[in-house]
Amino acid sequence: MTEADRITDKLVAAGAWRLLSDLNANMQRRDEAFAGLKIALQHQPDSRPLRRRRALLPEQNGESQESLAEPEVLAREAADSPGLLVHHGRALRHARETERAETTLQQRYNAGRATFRRTSC
């Protein structure tokens, strides 16, 4: 049993497992990285950052088709997030679906433009 297994606070536990996942991903231990994220998501199943990280791992390993499922779900669920919209477009481009990426980004941008928060640079 690791220290991360002993943590009872869900937010802290999710963060610890996310860090372990990142460490394993940086060491190119793909299976361990996914396992850590899976446990982190058990502690925080609705966490957009954790789900986004889970979506990025296949892309970072060159698995373009596998990397599309999570960004598509996140983009539908989080239409108010320009960052997730951009990530979805990038995942589509990575999967060599450039035309679909451009069309999807434009449609979702137009549909969500009123709800996007304006931020200053």
Residues 58-90 pLDDT 10s: 777 766 666 677 777 777 777 677 777 777 788
Contact (Cβ atoms closer than 8 angstroms) between residue 48 and residue 81: yes
Give CA–CA dist 99/110, Å, rounded: 17
**Global pTM value:** 0.64
Residues 10-50 pLDDT 10s: 888 899 999 999 999 999 898 999 999 999 999 999 888 89
Q: For residue 107, what pLDDT is reported?
A: 80
What is the H or E stretch that residue 79 is in?
none
